[in-house]
Chain A
Amino acid sequence: MTEELAELVARHPLFAGLPTDVASLVAGCAHNAAFGAGELLLAEGEPAEALYLLRRGRVALEIRKPGSGQLVVETLRPGEVVGLSWLFPPHRWKTDARAMEPVGVVSVDAACLLAKAEADPAFGFALMKRLLPVLLSRLQATRVRLLDLYGDGAHR
């Protein structure tokens, strides 16, 4: 079972190309999970306790906008990662994440992963080298979106 998980972990773009023993370390903290369409993977304000490697289905990151309900601010596709707030204090989710359709993930227990990273700095560094580019590219995408890329359309 853990071997199967290690394979799933190693095949996910976040960990692709990592040595199998590293993938096995991650898999030791992981299990498969499924969510029905509309179900929440994580909820704003709740403790951030897992890293989800998205394998199947799309996930919407939503922010509750007082007065006008939920606003989708980003959608994530298979091969992407859902949930990074477990990395740093205060370890609470900043958005909701909702399955837009039936979703399959490898769910990695954050406390377990962090403990392994603390105990094995080489593993911890390898993990950070995989996670930081995700954070950076999301930061950059957010910056570019601040430019109001389409303005009132292509000609603004």
Chain B
Amino acid sequence: MARTAERPAKAGTSLVPLAYRVAWRRRETADVVTIALEAVGESLAPFRAGQFHMLTAFGVGEVAISVSGTPGAPGPVEHTIRDVGAVSHALSRLPVGGVVGARGPFGTSWDVTGLADEDVVVIAGGIGLAPLRGAVHQLSGRRGPGRLTVLVGARTPDQLVFADDVRRWRELGADVRLTVDAATPDWGGEVGLVTSLLASASFDPARTVGLLCGPEVMMRFAAADLADLGVDPSRIRISLERNMQCGAGICGHCQLGPLLLCRDGPVVTYGGAVAALMGQVER
């Protein structure tokens, strides 16, 4: 039979979850774990960096979780989860071998292919580095004159995630800086607002692309600071979150103005309508 757009939803891609098993798990911080999922049977379609899956903790509920692994990397698919409520708690407590439901991948991506010549400034707040991790892996391996700056902020040093990746990105030539709001002197890293690191970072605003992920208030200030430094707002991409239900552009739960963020986001271009919707208009 010919495949048409009208055919019933295939398991995994839309409303019907596929069974995935926890292949391994790693604690990142006191309330954040990474779980790597492998298909029990049929696999989901390949994901792009920045996209998310809808994960079901059976008997508890379903939530949107970004893929924190690298597109195309062999092995199970990583998701990094902060335990904030019933479903994220159940997911983060799953033992190795535990089974979840997974649908997706959904949404837009960071779209970092084709950025070889551009300077890229990544700004992440706390676990906001998770949805960016795959993109940073891809960018740190690219060949081309573009420089890569990664600025990560967290409340305290013990809230910072992915220490091994940070080391690897630095070895590959990225300028990675970590900053916290407060620390004891043995921390040795930066203390201060994440955007204050921009002043000493090396990038040419005219050929810079910004990738931002974190709480909206952080992204709003970071985007405004990048724009003040001369980065074109249409070259700043941010990842927005709303309550997701269907993930497939059907239910309207994730609406932000004219956008359905499960379909038109989570990664959207800052500037224009999005900046206005985020409250930027009062500036």
Which A residues form the contact surface with B (CB < 8 A)? 58, 60-62, 68-75, 77-79, 98, 100, 141, 144-145, 147-156
5 extra interchain contacts, Cβ-Cβ under 8 A, other than A77-B200, A149-B215? A73-B182, A141-B196, A145-B192, A152-B126, A155-B82
A69: B residues at CB distance < 8 A? 184
Once bound together, how far apart are the Cα atoms of A148 and B181, in whole Å?
9
The answer to whether the Cβ of B153 comes within 8 Å of any Cβ in the partner chain is yes
Contact-residue size bin, chain B (C-beta under 8 Å from the other chain)? 35 or more
A155: B residues at CB distance < 8 A? 82, 84, 127, 215, 241
B185, A156: Cβ atoms closer than 8 Å: no
When C-beta atoms are compared, the residue in chain A nearest to B85 turns out to be A155
B49 CB, min distance to chain A CBs, angstroms: 16
Chain B residues touching A, majority SS: mixed
A27 CB, min distance to chain B CBs, angstroms: 24
Please judge, given known A-B contacts A149-B215, A150-B125, whether A75 and B192 are in contact too, CB under 8 Å. yes
Q: How many A-B residue pairs have CB under 8 A?
A: 101
A98: B residues at CB distance < 8 A? 185
Q: Lowest 3 A-B CB distances belong to which pairs?
A: A154-B128, A150-B126, A153-B126
B19: A residues at CB distance < 8 A? none
A149, B188: Cβ atoms closer than 8 Å: no
When C-beta atoms are compared, the residue in chain A nearest to B190 turns out to be A75
A135 CB, min distance to chain B CBs, angstroms: 14
Q: Which among A62, A75, A153 has the greatest number of chain B C-beta atoms within 10 A? A: A153
Please judge, given known A-B contacts A72-B184, A149-B214, whether A144 and B127 are in contact too, CB under 8 Å. no
When C-beta atoms are compared, the residue in chain A nearest to B179 turns out to be A75
Contact of B183 (CB < 8 Å), options: A71, A144, A154: A71
Once bound together, how far apart are the Cα atoms of A14 and B157, in whole Å?
30
Q: Which among B179, B200, B215 has the greatest number of chain A C-beta atoms within 10 A? A: B215
Once bound together, how far apart are the Cα atoms of A142 and B80, in whole Å?
30
B281 CB, min distance to chain A CBs, angstroms: 19
Once bound together, how far apart are the Cα atoms of A156 and B182, in whole Å?
19
